[in-house]
Chains A and B, each alone.
Chain A
Amino acid sequence: MSNVQPSSYNNTSGVPQTNVNPGLQYSSQFNAQSQQPILKQDANSNSPVPGFVSPTNQGQITQFSQSASSSPAFNHPGIIPQPLSGFNSSSIGLSIKPGLATSNQNISQNIPASVPNSSSINNSNSSPYHPKYQQQLQINDNAPPLIPSSQFNQSIINGPPLSSSPMSQPLPQQLTSSSYSPMTNRPVNSNIASGPINPTASQYQSSFPPSSLPPGSFTSQPSMPYSRPPLTGHPRNSPLFGPPMNVPPTSSGQPMGLVGPPRPIGLNGPTGNMPGQSVGPPQSIGPVGGPPSGPTSLPHLSMKPPSGTHILNQQYPGQQYNGPLGLGQTTPSSAGPMTSKTYSGPTSLQMGQQVQPQVQSLPQMGKSANASPGPPVGLTGPPRSNIQSRYPQMPPSGYTNHQQPQAQPQGVSKQPPSPYTPQGITQQMGQLSVTKQGFDQLWGHQMVDLMQSRHILPEYPEDPPEIRLGHQFADAPNCSPEIFRCTINRIPETNSLLQKCRLPLGILIHPFKDLDSLPVIQCTTIVRCRACRTYINPFVYFVDSKRWKCNLCYRVNDLPEEFQYDPVSKSYGEPTRRPEIKSATIEFIAPGEYMLRPPQPAVYLFLFDVSQIARDSGYLQVVCDTLKEKLEELPGDARTQVGFICYDAHVHYYLMGEGLTRPKEMTVLDIDDVFLPSPESLLVNLGECREMIKELLTVLPKRYSTPGVPVSALGAALLAAYKLMAPTGGRITVFQTCLPNIGPGALQSREDPNARSSKEVAHLNPASDFYKRLALDCSGAQVAVDLFLLSSQYCDLATLSGMSKFSAGTVYHIPLFRAARNWQAEQLTRMLTRYLTRKIGFEAVMRVRCTRGISIHTFHGNFFVRSTDLLSLPNVSPDAGFGMQLTIEESLSDLQQVCFQAALLYTSSKGERRIRVHTLALPIASNLTEVLHAADQQCIIGLLSKMAVDRCASASMSEAREALMNVAVDALSAHRLSQNLPAGNVSSALYAPASLRLLPLYLLALLKRKAFRTGTSTRLDERVADMCALKSLPLSQLMRLVYPELYALHDLSEHASRPEEDDDDEPTPEPPRLHLSAERISSNGAYLLDDGETMIIYVCCNVSAAFLSETFGVAAFSQLADEARSVPRLQTAGSRLLHALLDRLNEERPYPAGLLVLRDNSPSRQQFIERLVDDRVESAFSYYEFLQHVKNQVK
């Protein structure tokens, strides 16, 4: 590692110099060292990459020297954002600060500039937890009574058809103005589109071609930027631009109505009951819960006569709630000719259903804003194809589509194309306008009446709300939502707006996720902003070919000439062709100045508990076997080191290495004053001592199979491990089975078994800070501690977990572990296999930078926060997720977008220093409706769960639960205020924006998680383990944990899709998800419930014999083995389908889930039943009760 320059690393000020603005000397130097970037694609980033670029490339100097030829492309004035000269100067000033005491930071310097000014932090309380009555007032006062009068807009867009409807009277004016006006939210009463947000049409148009814009134009109209995102949607209205709504249903989505905002929107009535789903398959509604045959049934529905009333009856056969609304009006009329391709069968069904909601909510519905037409995620489905073929030619105009959705079902089949039957018109009138609804749909502002939507869960996975940036960056690649997600996809422009919407603002990030493809760049100069150290990313502005403007601090920086070199085409030209600009996730191989010391080798130390309880559990055999098997696959290079320590009443060390032929055990009896018995050979090189290590792993389980002492000196062993590891850093893996009860860090049992189901849960906080202090020491020495808790009794995980929490480790918990139980041994093996073989990053730090005006309030996850935006992660694993709460400290109203950049600097297991950079850009919203409709409900749940865990620790369980419930109340209250809906008890409906329609469902499920449930007996350790999981899991796994997936297995074949181009004949079943309710469980079905850890196959007693024999190979229900832990692989279609489904589900998680087959008369069926979280259990609401509760609280 000759190129390591520790000194430069420490010296903050040095770095910027080198990177930026080199003096003459530097520049010449640069030329000499060609900076030719090397572009690689490697999935795991562990792939061996040649060392750092060294002067070897010098031969190419000449090429670089004068490449600067400015490409005209950069000169577009339009690209230039408003000149923010003020920012530049200020940021520069800040950047000059001396790098005091920054020695700890591996990432060279923090930018003071980015640090929010302290005083303002207090105000920001984005957490919805505090019930804010004051804010309510605010809402009342300030909230724009925005009811977007979509009528006008629609009429404009549609042109002729609308004009016929009475609603569209204002049209003439509007028409002249321009079709863009729809964006504005105006008070209902005013016909003129003078919304604060609206740019005039002319402006908007002018802005469209970026090149034509004079730079000044934006500045002159500060308000413009915000409105733009919605505006961009406008193209959709015109046929010229791609058909937003019409996009052919590429994705798998099915009949579900409200999947991504995009699809459903078009189809659903604004009021949006999610009718889609509920309506869909009539059968499913029934108590019996037939198979979800949604799509197929749809066509049938759609055939019904146009009259709305008929439709209703049929569609809601099972519904209990739909009483009053009779919506007969629904609009068959509108459906007419307009139908575009979008209307696929299933969707049309939904439409019908929506009728109800529309009636009620129509007046309020309107909101302009996000055009939903985004990705046509879900519109596939057999039925659709028919419909599509019928109306293939429809003009793509979004407008049309939206209007008709409701009518369509009927319209398609029976009604002649003309939507404007008199009946329809009158209905529209009565409802206050179908057009408005249509418009809401167009912009994605649908509402859903939760009380009416029995099938609110989308049947197929949904995408988060689309992120629509201003036109400059409309095509810029944004970070994948799987990596980087924000709870609100349009950032409120002020803190008061954020308070009004009452949603938590935060981001969830999964920075080290395993990626299929990741551009990796190797160059000597990584282009970063000189002031705030932001890495160059797709959202920067190029002022000209030589300069770029940072999108976080707005400083204008010089662009190194090398940056114009395109590593792919090996030519010079636009900087925009660089991978840094083309990908929002990128990895750099860092040059020497990013190293504090030579990259550390991979060092793994294993700590085994060998007390009596551990010996009883027999885990050691399982672990040693797995370890022996995976020894070769441990990530690392030739320097990899491994060591082992066992502990009971004493600490046992194992010497291996030179001069020894067999591993030698050394036992240190003194556990109060730990020392290492040997200065070396405790950690040995894996390559050199492989045989000896294997021998040790073979011997260890036998060595500790005899009865031992019932004490465990975990604390002493950890101290020893720390001493051993401190010089290098690495990973300590602890296997613990009992409460550590002697030596340092000894603990007392705190759990009262009688209080397991009490309302208040005590002892969620650590009993001692020993483990936390140890973790901090470890963190400083770049050592992470992972804990496998294989307990059979109370172990005080609340205290023990400290060792992992603050050292960026992971906690794995298998309660009541016994190796004799095969399935538990297998679970441990799977867990451990993934753990041992997954990628790992050492001595990592992660810094999250935000656009000025936003700052990070609180971090969630496992790490140590070393400064306001820097996380110290001794190890980083691909299974670790992080959350950050944000606060808005300054008004963002003069910005066009907000950017977040997470940079993870780590040492790969191959000893390379690498930087992985993720950049996310989000538009800004200026009114409440836009904010609410851009909410990302899954991300919100992810963040809330973390906040609630914190609340449990800092306050109490009951307070945390109450806060969670209030989130739903608050969010829906905010929505009600934004829409001027009648207060709770006045109407029987509870409206939610489509983007938040699942919030109550998920919240209820969250409240029934082990972590938060009360009234049900829950072991304290399991509760704490669940909390640890909620804090650190990435979102996809967390959501599966919160709301497990339930599939019907008995009709898999109906949902099997055959991959078209695959030679493989195996069909992949894609069954729709079911609500977690006993209502959906039919006695003649079989179901799969997948919560991430375990997949439970629940077979009901009346399931058909054919299914049993085909799937399980048994003739009758009574022969089915209860609590089987596997399903036989048979050569039958049914079995292949089932396994295809299981395999597909297992692909998406770190390690395969365990399997459990339960019969519905099994004594263990409670395991299945307790996960049906929509149902009432003792002391907890059912979903419907929860909705009632929320409705009563919504003010």
Chain B
Amino acid sequence: MAFSFPAFSYIIALIVDAFLIFFSIFHVIAFDELKTDYKNPIDQCNSLNPLVLPEYLLHLFINILFLLSGEWFSLLVNVPLILYHIHRYRTRPVMSGPGLYDPTSIMNADVLTVCQREGWIKLAFYLLSFFLYLYGMIVVLIAA
């Protein structure tokens, strides 16, 4: 029962994934608040934008770990999301700071809906992948 690098990466992934789950919960709540008029879009964007890159980087980080440890299946599962993140960030509105959300367009019902749906889907994905990593970790530990 050796403590291998794959096992290490799964453990890290589990921890990071927990953070990601919190991020996406925050995301969902934030957009719900926008929709129900509780928050000013400028404030909301100011609080959301700084979190976008950290989330992306954290996600990228665990996948690098998977890549290094040769956990191809877990990597494969995450590749679509990585591609989506890249695409999303490339097509972001013109803005000087980091982040994705533009307070002038965020209240557009289309954008709002897309963002909200994105939040829910990501939340589901991170939850599922949490269990996947858990499973993966156990398998790795047992195999070792």
Decide if A104 touches B94 in the complex (CB within 8 Å). Answer: no
Known: A767-B94, A769-B94. A868 touches B39 (CB 8 A): no
Tell whether A410 is near chain B: CB-to-CB under 8 Å: no
B96 touching A768, Cβ below 8 Å: yes
Tell me which of B32, B39, B93 contacts A101 (CB under 8 A): B39
A391 contacts B by Cβ under 8 Å: no
Cβ–Cβ contact A769 & B40, under 8 A: no
Known: A110-B37, A112-B36, A118-B113. Contact between A776 and B108, CB under 8 A? Answer: no
A1186: shortest Cβ distance to chain B, in Å? 29
Given contacts A118-B113, A855-B109, A856-B109, contact A865 B41 (CB under 8 A): yes
Cβ contacts under 8 Å, A866 to chain B:
40-41, 107
Say whether, besides A118-B116, A122-B117, A865-B107, A780 and B42 are in contact (CB < 8 Å): yes
> Which residue of chain B is the closest to A869 with respect to CB atoms?
B37
Q: Is A1167 an interface residue (CB 8 A)?
A: no
What CA separation (Å) do A773 and B49 show in the bound complex?
14
Most buried by B among A102, A118, A121: A118
A101 near B96 with CB under 8 A, answer no
CB neighbors of B among A724-782 (8 A)? 765-770, 772-773, 776, 780
| B96 near A868: Cβ-Cβ < 8 Å | no
Across-interface contacts of A929 in B (CB, < 8 A): none
CA separation between A859 and B96, bound complex, in Å? 24
CA distance A118 to B30 in the complex (A): 13
Most buried by B among A765, A773, A887: A773
Q: Is B5 an interface residue (CB 8 A)?
A: no
Contact of A776 among B42, B107, B110, B113 (CB under 8 A): B42
Chain A: which residue is nearest B108 at the CB level? A858
Alpha-carbon separation in the docked complex, A780 to B45 (Å) = 15
Is residue B54 within 8 Å, beta carbon to beta carbon, of the partner chain?
A: no
Known interface pairs A768-B94, A769-B95, A770-B96. Does A870 touch B37 (Cβ–Cβ under 8 Å)?
Answer: yes
Q: Which of B37, B42, B102 contacts A112 (CB 8 A)?
A: B37
Give the CA-CA distance A118 to B120 in the complex, in Å. Answer: 13
Residues of B within 8 A of A900 (CB): none
Q: Which residues of A contact B39 (CB under 8 A)?
A: 101
How many chain A residues sit at the interface, stated as a range, is 35 or more
Cβ A121 vs Cβ B36 within 8 A = no
A102 partner, pick from B32, B34, B37, B112, beta carbons under 8 A: B37
- The residue on A at minimum CB distance from B111 is A858
B:4-53 near A, CB below 8 Å:
32, 34-42
Q: Which residue of A lies closest to B117 (CB)?
A: A122
- Measured CA separation A765–B95 after assembly (Å): 12
Asked if A115 is an interface residue, CB under 8 A from chain B, the answer is yes
Question: A71 within 8 Å of B by Cβ?
Answer: no
Complex Cα distance, B37 from A855, in Å, reads 14
Task: Report yes or no: A772 in contact with B37, Cβ–Cβ below 8 A.
Answer: no
Question: Which single residue of chain B is at the shortest CB-CB distance from A864?
Answer: B104
With beta carbons under 8 angstroms apart, the residue of B42, B94, B96, B109 that contacts A887 is B109
Question: What residues of B have a CB within 8 angstroms of the CB of A858 in the complex?
Answer: 108-110
- Does B70 lie at the interface of the complex (its beta carbon under 8 Å from any beta carbon of A)? no
Residues of A within 8 A of B104 (CB): 772, 776, 805-806, 864-865
A20→B118 CA distance, assembly (Å): 41
For B32, the closest partner residue in chain A by CB is A118
B98 at the interface (CB under 8 A from A): no
Out of A115, A769, A864, which one reaches B37, CB within 8 Å? A115
- Contact of A769 with B96 in the complex, beta carbons under 8 Å: yes
**Closest beta carbon of chain A to B72's beta carbon, Å:** 35
Contacts of B95 in A (CB 8 A): 769
Q: Across the interface, which residues of B come within 8 angstroms of A122, CB to CB?
A: 113, 117
**Most chain A beta-carbon contacts within 10 A, residue among B104, B107, B109, B113:** B109
Least Cβ–Cβ distance between A744 and chain B, in angstroms = 11
Candidates A121, A773, A806; contact of B96 at CB < 8 Å: A773
Contacts of B107 in A (CB 8 A): 859, 865-868
A1015 to chain B, nearest CB (A): 28
Task: Provide the bound-state CA to CA distance between A806 and B107, in Å.
Answer: 13
Chain B residues whose CB sits within 8 angstroms of the CB of A110 once the complex forms: 37
Q: How far is B38's CA from A110's CA once the two chains are assembled, in angstroms?
A: 9
A776/B103 contact (C-beta < 8 A), A118-B116, A121-B109 known: yes
Q: Is the CB of A868 within 8 A of B94?
A: no
A24 on the interface (CB 8 Å rule)? no
Asked if A100 contacts B38 (CB within 8 A), the reply is yes
- Compute how far the CA of A806 lies from the CA of B102 in the bound complex, rounded to whole angstroms: 12
**A857 in contact (CB, < 8 A):** yes
Instruction: Return B119 CB to nearest CB of chain A, in Å.
Output: 11
Give A155-173 as 1s and 0s: 1 = Cβ < 8 Å from B's Cβ atoms: 0000000000000000000
Complex Cα–Cα for A776 and B41 (A): 11
> Within the assembled complex, what's the spacing in Å between the Cα atoms of A856 and B109?
8
**Chain B 64-117 residues near chain A, CB threshold 8 A:** 93-96, 102-104, 107-110, 112-113, 116-117
Tell which of A100, A112, A121, A765 touches B94, judged by Cβ atoms closer than 8 Å. Answer: A765
Complex-state Cα separation, A674 to B135, whole angstroms: 58
Q: Verify A857–B35 contact, CB threshold 8 A.
A: no
Closest to A870 in B: B37
Q: Judge whether B36 and A115 touch: CB under 8 Å.
A: yes
Contacts of A766 in B (CB 8 A): 94
Measured in the bound complex, the distance between the Cα atoms of B104 and A102 in whole Å is: 18
Bound complex: CA A100 to CA B104 (Å): 21
Hey, which chain A residues are within 8 Å of B109, CB to CB?
A: 121, 124, 855-858, 868, 887
A residues within 8 A CB of B40? 101, 104, 866-867
How distant is the Cα of A112 from the Cα of B112 in the complex, in angstroms? Answer: 17
Q: How far is the CA of A104 from the CA of B103 in the complex (A)?
A: 15
Of the A-B pairs whose beta carbons lie under 8 Å apart in the complex, a sample of 20, sorted by A's number, is: A101-B38, A104-B40, A112-B37, A121-B112, A768-B94, A770-B96, A772-B104, A776-B104, A805-B104, A806-B104, A855-B109, A858-B110, A859-B107, A864-B103, A865-B41, A865-B104, A867-B41, A868-B35, A868-B37, A868-B107
The 5 closest A-B pairs by CB, nearest first: A865-B107, A867-B37, A857-B109, A110-B37, A769-B95
Given contacts A115-B35, A121-B113, A868-B109, 7 further A-B contacts (CB under 8 A): A104-B40, A769-B94, A769-B95, A769-B96, A857-B108, A859-B107, A865-B107
